[in-house]
Amino acid sequence: MRIVTSTNRRAVASLLSATRIRDRATEVRAAVIVDRVRKGGDPTLLKFAREFDGLRGGIEVPRRVWEAQARTLAPNVRRALKRAAANIQTVAKAQVPKGWRKAVGAGISVEQRVIPISRVGCYVPAGRYPLPSSLLMTAIPARAAGVPEVIVACPRPDAAVFAAALEAGVDRLFQVGGAHAIAAMAYGTRTVPRVDKIVGPGNRWVSAAKSLVSTDCGIDFYAGPTEILIVTASGSAAAIAADLIAQAEHDPDARAVFITSNRRLAGQVTREVAAQMPDTGPALQSLERHGGIIICRNMTEAIALANEAASEHLVVGTEALAKRVWNAGAVFVGRWTAQVAGDYAIGSNHVLPTAGAARYRGGLNAADFVKLVSVQRMTKQGLKRIAGTVTTLARAEGLEGHARSIEARFSDPGSRTPDPVGKRQ
């Protein structure tokens, strides 16, 4: 791994840049696929699934197949899925926003209603291997939020994915992937129902398609290649190197960076990475292209760089550093809080913002699956109390009709009739 100093601004910017890795050619082709599925429905979807996913059979997998396949899974894997699901559900239930009703003033109240989204589509990647953990991370928070119908699209589901679907309470599962799966869920086909929101990670085709459909269907966020920053001045060099390699093995475009003020530790981590690195594969490519170590003058500078980078995963060595983090998708504190544990079983979500998006949002959570709808109520006296405020502001904005909408209520003879809202308050 290359080592740079914090004074080398160009090198630091290269390692920490939040620039999205976008492929215009992919975006153009994804747009064609999305449009064709939108117009062509099932026949077009099936054509793309056979061409790109190697599909043999129908688009939807019947529940009896899930159950039969899940029974073939090793018992220890079933137990691991169950334990992970329980932890994810515990956290998700705590994340659901609460409804409330507040008296703003005499005769004036505002209520917040928490209404689940009606139907959610979860995308489960299956690049080198299907990822049942992504199914748990997307479907369980949706269920915890009260979503009535949860569907899944996965290009090559295996026994673990089917078992996870049963564990998470999924309603339907479709063995399609890529841009064509996103289009099917966003616009609906005869087989695949149209959803109100699509969540879950995926490759550049999936990300491009999600971006394209986002004007017609809700999405969680645009997800680029995965990222990890490790910020500490102490700890096990072997463990730090292992964490960098673990995240790098996701994708050749993954970003894995260690930031420290400890030159000796930096050298130890470099040697450990070389010793642990596989000879081939995405981890090797990732660390050669996008990996590195930044040596800072002190840890204040180190955490400032981390906040500027707004990484998807941020591992910090101490609680003192953790308290100074304000930009990160997820924070892991101390040597025993392994980031990969968060990928599976801690209970926090592993669907996280990348490419600097942690500046303005956190990871996927149960609140992403509900709508906060405000309900307002006023009595006649309540409206009288704020009428002057409303009409003054309306006229200040040049909206005379707005002001008259208030005044008409008091000039209308019907305003003398009983106030049904007032009776309820």
Please spell the DSSP secondary structure of 34-96, one letter per residue: HHHHHHHHHHHHHHHIIIII---S-SEEPHHHHHHHHHTS-HHHHHHHHHHHHHHHHHHHHHS
Query: Residues 322, 402: one domain?
Result: no
CATH of residue 316: 3.40.50.1980
Q: What is the pLDDT of residue 425?
A: 44
Q: Give the count of domains, the chain.
A: 3
In a domain, 113, yes or no: no
Query: Residues 251, 176: one domain?
Result: no
Are 283 and 277 contacting, i.e. CB atoms less than 8 angstroms apart? yes
- Report d(CA 135, CA 155) in Å as an integer: 13
Taking CA atoms, 353 is separated from 8, 263, 350, 362, in Å, by 27, 30, 9, 7
Are 394 and 403 contacting, i.e. CB atoms less than 8 angstroms apart? yes
Q: What is the pLDDT of residue 224?
A: 80
pLDDT tens string, the chain, 425 residues long: the values are 899 999 999 999 999 986 656 678 999 999 999 999 999 999 999 999 999 999 999 999 999 999 999 999 999 999 999 999 999 999 999 999 999 999 999 999 999 999 999 999 999 999 878 899 999 999 999 999 999 999 999 999 999 999 999 999 999 999 999 999 999 999 999 999 999 999 999 988 999 999 999 999 999 988 888 999 999 999 999 999 999 999 999 888 889 999 999 999 999 999 999 999 888 788 898 898 889 999 999 999 999 999 999 999 999 999 999 999 999 999 999 999 999 999 999 999 999 999 899 999 999 999 999 999 999 999 999 999 999 999 999 999 999 999 999 999 998 766 555 555 555 44
Q: Is 313 a catalytic residue?
A: yes
In a domain, 41, yes or no: yes
Query: Residues 331, 212: one domain?
Result: no
Query: Residues 288, 269: one domain?
Result: yes
Q: Which residue has the tokens 């064609």?
A: 32
Q: Which two tokens stand for residue 407?
A: 């005044």
In a domain, 63, yes or no: yes
Of 180, 290, 313, 350, the catalytic one is 313
Tens digit of pLDDT for each residue in 228-238?
Answer: 999 999 999 99
Query: Residues 203, 153: one domain?
Result: yes
Give the DSSP letter of residue 119.
Answer: E
In a domain, 373, yes or no: no
Cβ of 46: how many Cβ atoms within 10 Å?
A: 18
- Report d(CA 81, CA 132) in Å as an integer: 8
Which residues, 6 or more positions from 16, have their beta carbon under 8 angstroms from its beta carbon?
Answer: 229, 257, 294, 305, 308, 309
Q: What is the pLDDT of residue 280?
A: 78
Query: Residues 198, 67: one domain?
Result: yes
Query: Residues 245, 336: one domain?
Result: yes
Query: Residues 77, 35: one domain?
Result: yes
Edge-to-edge order in the sheet of strand 119-123: 60-61, 172-174, 149-153, 119-123, 197-199, 218-219
Query: Residues 315, 336: one domain?
Result: yes
In a domain, 30, yes or no: yes
Nearest to 99 by CA among 120, 84, 114: 114
Helix or strand holding residue 332 (H, E): strand 330-333
Residue ending a domain, among 190, 220, 250, is 220
Of 288, 312, 402, 407, the catalytic one is 312
Residue ending a domain, among 220, 238, 259, is 220
Taking CA atoms, 318 is separated from 199, 203, 230, 334, 398, in Å, by 32, 33, 11, 6, 55
In a domain, 40, yes or no: yes
Query: Residues 50, 194: one domain?
Result: yes
Query: Residues 126, 166: one domain?
Result: yes
Residue ending a domain, among 195, 220, 245, is 220
Query: Residues 86, 206: one domain?
Result: yes
In a domain, 367, yes or no: no
Cβ of 298: how many Cβ atoms within 10 Å?
A: 11
State which residues form the domain around 396: 379-424
- Report d(CA 306, CA 322) in Å as an integer: 11
In a domain, 106, yes or no: no
